[in-house]
Structure 1
Amino acid sequence: MTSPAPALSRVLGGPMGRHARPTGTWFRPAPFAFLTLTVSWLIVMVRQVPCRSSSDQYLPWMCYSDIPILYYWRGLKDGLVPFLQTDLEYPVLTGAFMEFCRRLVVFLGGKSEPGLSSDEVAHATNLFFGINAVLLFVLMGVLIWAHLRMSRPWDALMIAASPAILTAGLVNWDALVLAMTGLAILAWSRRKPFWAGFWLGLGIAAKLYPLLLLVPLTVLCLRSSRFKALALAYLGTAASWVAVNLPVYLAAPEGWLNFWTFNADRGGDLGSIWYALSLIGIDIESVSRLEAALMVAGTIAICALLLLAPRRPRFAQGAFLIVTLFLVVNKVYSPQYVLWLLPLLVLARPRWTDWIAFSIAETAYFAAVWGHLDNQLSNGAGDHRLYVLAILVRIGVQLWICGRVVRDMFDPRRDIVRAGGLDDPDGGVLDEAPDAAWVTRLTRGLAAT
């Protein structure tokens, strides 16, 4: 199963003639993608209504969101500024986004100061959530726009129609990093490496995982001797990240460090393989060290695959593999992390069979985590097998898709993106780039053995 374009073409009157021009709304994916996203976002906002008037956020509505919770518990309701006056477990750009929304609350008539009544706090909290919902929708629109401008625009529908939007779209502020990462990949595909780095640096300043994309980018640029483009990407990344982080670090170094110490000190948490093992009685000591060791070993293996594959893999394939590795070995898998993988899956392997399997596994896990937190899966008896099974199935499907991506890398005839003789249409300077001489000698030597 591939792009929906052929099916839509049949519904709307069959394929175009040889001399026809693809004009008009019906021949463009953008209206369908944005309409689908809008409907999905309206549904996810309606799903939040019960949680605005009830404390039952886990079951049956499964409408939990960090947004109003952290507005209250991190002191934004009292007017405290993230990092400067209150600790925050997020990087700087996410904190800045939260502060911007808090100021919008005040601008729109809400109150954010100490000593407020419960009604005033409730009104400001709901206003804060509404403002975030609107802005995050705009950011999701930026992500869809970026994918519409890539080589396979119809695949943007796979993002807009994903159940992940319906389930996890408003759990946290992840639409911010998704937009920044989407713009980075788009800029790279347009052969603008500095701007790709610029957006990537902002993404890293919002959530840490976009940093991982530099790994496949580095290996593939070294393989094809694209040193100037790589240097410009690194320069853009460093420039934007430092520009955002340095002022906060200078003003409040302890507040800035809180994100790093929080993640370094935590143990195995919800959704992780480490948490699943602990639930069945297997306690792992020094989880952080083992996680780091597996991450290093896995990264080396992925770099070797990218370097030694007979034909240079596509950038999106490497990006999907490295982010999946991180999420599989990470100490936590929050429900919204599915959104990190979704755009990369669509770029790496845009097949509906993979999308369906991915969606089923992730949706099942989304339901399971709330059942686990609400003590419904175990019926209060401490039996966590269903939740552990949901974790293992989710990880198993992610690894299964990774295996299919690796198979495409070593047998490009299976790669739908490369159909028709294409190389890496969203690879920017990597597209049609020949291997460096030393790589050619290395791959030939390995093939000979």
Structure 2
Amino acid sequence: MYVDIADRKRLRLPVALLGTWGLTRLLLLLFVFKVFVFPGPDVTSDVSVIYHGWYEVLRDGTFPLADVTWQYPPAAALAILSPGALPFLDYASAFFVLALLADLVVLSLLRHAGGRPGRTPRGAWAWVVGVPLLGPTVYARYDVMVTAVAVAALLAGARRPRLMGALAGFGALLKVWPALLLVGAVQRRAWASAAVTVAALASLFAVTMPGAFAFLTFQGDRGTEVESLGALVFHVGRHFGWEGRVALNYGSIEFLGPFVKTVSTVALLLTVAAFGWLLLWRLRATRFLPHTLADAAFVAVLLFTVTSRVISPQYMVWLVGLAAVCLCFRASPMTLPATLVVVACLVTVLEFPVGFGHVVASDAYGMALLFTRNGLLVVAALTAALELWRTTAPPRAQLPAIPDQPTREKETLGSP
């Protein structure tokens, strides 16, 4: 049978993609199941101890109100309870299997999206390569499940705005940040669907499970997490007589002591400024292209991440997922920021869990890793923001005229 060169290339691509995914994910499973021991602290204890403890409380119909480390919106209970769907496995094993399935769902979505006209398989490759660079932490947190919902929402896009909105709303009740997916949505149906979904699910949780929104009160006394951008001030300060300390606080390793509240306040102000910039962008944007929805979401989550007082390693899973969606679009200008995020994943696994002792000690190696990783994220955020502005909010003089048609103020996704 004759097979032309183009057909051979199309055949090789999914084989190479799926083969790479299979080998790298097998390695991740071997690490989380402890067939091989990954360097650094055991990242699976969050599942076997913390998540399992929450599971025991949640299945009795209430949230873990006595545990201040429960800092998640109510739908997170579904992720924590999900291993119960596999009763033939112990809790941790079931969780790892479900994380693997969520990973596969993301790959399937990206692979399908990348095969359409004007699309590219780069997005699927970014996911396949970026995720294992983070090490076994990916399967030891529920963030990969949230990312699957977010990727599905963005790929639904303008074709199905109601579905996109519903998924974004559901994602926001899983872990808040997917609410940022709506930043670039131009159709009111997406916003309305998200609002209805959030209102319906939030009301259901509030009525059926006591303490659904207790997590809102557990954030106020947090310090500055040692891996965050603001923490760099204290890593340097420890070498010049800063008298604070590092401690386990609210479920993460944080800096506590003089000026911590000041730095945390500055981080909050930077987040407010970032949201202000996003609002200004929406007001000034005049060109909404098919990839703008994903680009805007990527920029928004990048800005939220770098200005946050906590940058946990699992946050990188969000960024890889959103970067991968952007790269599915051939015309997306996010290639450089997406590449920087993937590189930052490699540095992230070096600082956690491999070199976390050095990070906590604020030694030269630990500081070098943090400055590199956070520097990559800052450059990625600024570059992505500039590209988003350049491609969607150009000066009016640069807007192309449409021959023989009235000039439109906005090109909206999915317009008839």
User: What is the alpha-carbon distance in structure 1 between the residues aligned to residue 5 and residue 9 of structure 2?
Assistant: 15
* The one of 271, 284, 297 aligned to 2:227: 271
Corresponding residue of 2:98: 135
1:388 aligns with 2:367: yes
Which residue pairs with 1:50 in the alignment? 34
TM-superposed deviation, 1:410: 5.5
Cα deviation code 1:265-301 (max 9, x no counterpart): 3221131122232233273324554333211211222
Gaps of 5+ in 1: 1-12, 17-21, 111-126, 222-228, 414-420, 422-432, 438-449
Structure 1 contact 187–196 (Cα < 8 Å) conserved: yes
1:298 aligned to 270, 274, 284, which one? Answer: 274
Matching residue's letter, 2:409: D
The structure 2 residue matched to 1:193, chosen from 161, 174, 193, is 161
Secondary structure of the corresponding residue to residue 75 of structure 2: helix
The CA deviation at 1:327 is 0.6
Q: Report the CA distance shift for 1:284/1:60 in structure 2 as closer, same or farther (over 3 A).
A: closer
Compared CA separation, residues 75 and 86, structure 1 to 2 (3 A):
farther
Distance 1:263 1:58, change over 3 A: farther
Identity %: 20
The alignment's C-alpha RMSD in Å is 3.5
Q: 1:357 to 1:148 in 2, by over 3 A?
A: same
Query: Given the two structures, how large is their TM-score scaled by the length of structure 2?
Result: 0.74
Pairing of 1:110-149 with structure 2 (within 5 A): 127-149=90-112
How far off is 1:50 after superposition? 3.1
Q: Which runs of 5+ in 2 are unaligned?
A: 243-258, 329-333, 393-399, 401-406, 412-416
Give the alignment of 1:242-257 within 5 angstroms: 242-253=199-210, 255-257=211-213
1:40 to 7, 11, 24: 24
Question: How many Å apart are 1:363 and its aligned residue?
Answer: 1.9
Say if 1:62 and 1:70 are closer, same or farther in 2 by CA, change over 3 A.
closer
Aligned partner of 1:365: which letter?
A: T
Hey, what's the Cα distance between the residues in 2 that align with 1:377 and 1:436? 48
| Residues 40, 165 of structure 1: 8 Å contact kept | no
The reply to whether residue 258 of structure 1 matches residue 221 of structure 2 is: no
Instruction: Indicate the residue corresponding to 1:176 in structure 2.
Output: 145
Q: Which moved more, 1:60-69 or 1:87-96?
A: 60-69
State the match for 1:154 in structure 2: 121
Displacement after TM superposition at 1:341 (Å): 0.4
The structure whose residues are more often helix, as a share, is 1
Deviations 1:368-420 (A, max 9, x none): 233554x3567xxx44343233222222212222343345446559xxxxxxx
Q: For 2:274 and 2:303, how far apart are their aligned partners in 1?
A: 7
Aligned partner of residue 72 in structure 2, secondary structure: coil
CA distance in structure 2 between the partners assigned to 1:169 and 1:394 by the alignment: 17
- Superposition map of 1:263-342 within 5 A: 263-281=219-237, 283-308=259-284, 311-312=287-288, 314-342=292-320
Matched residue of 1:74: which SS? helix
Structure 2 CA distance for aligned equivalents of residues 31 and 208 of structure 1: 36
Structure-1 residue corresponding to 2:323: 345
Q: Return the letter of the residue paired with 1:149.
A: H
Q: Which has the larger radius of gyration?
A: 1
Contact 2:162/2:189 (<8 A) preserved: yes
Aligned equivalent of 1:359: 342
SS in 1 for 2:157: helix
Distance (Å, rounded) in 1 between the aligned partners of 2:95 and 2:193: 28
Tell me the equivalent position of 1:98: 80
Q: Please tell me the residue identity of whatever aligns with 2:349.
A: F
The alignment of Structure 1 onto Structure 2 pairs a total of residues equal to: 361
1:241 paired with 2:211, answer: no
**Partner residue of 1:404 out of 347, 371, 383:** 383
1:31–1:197 CA distance, 2 compared to 1 (3 A): farther
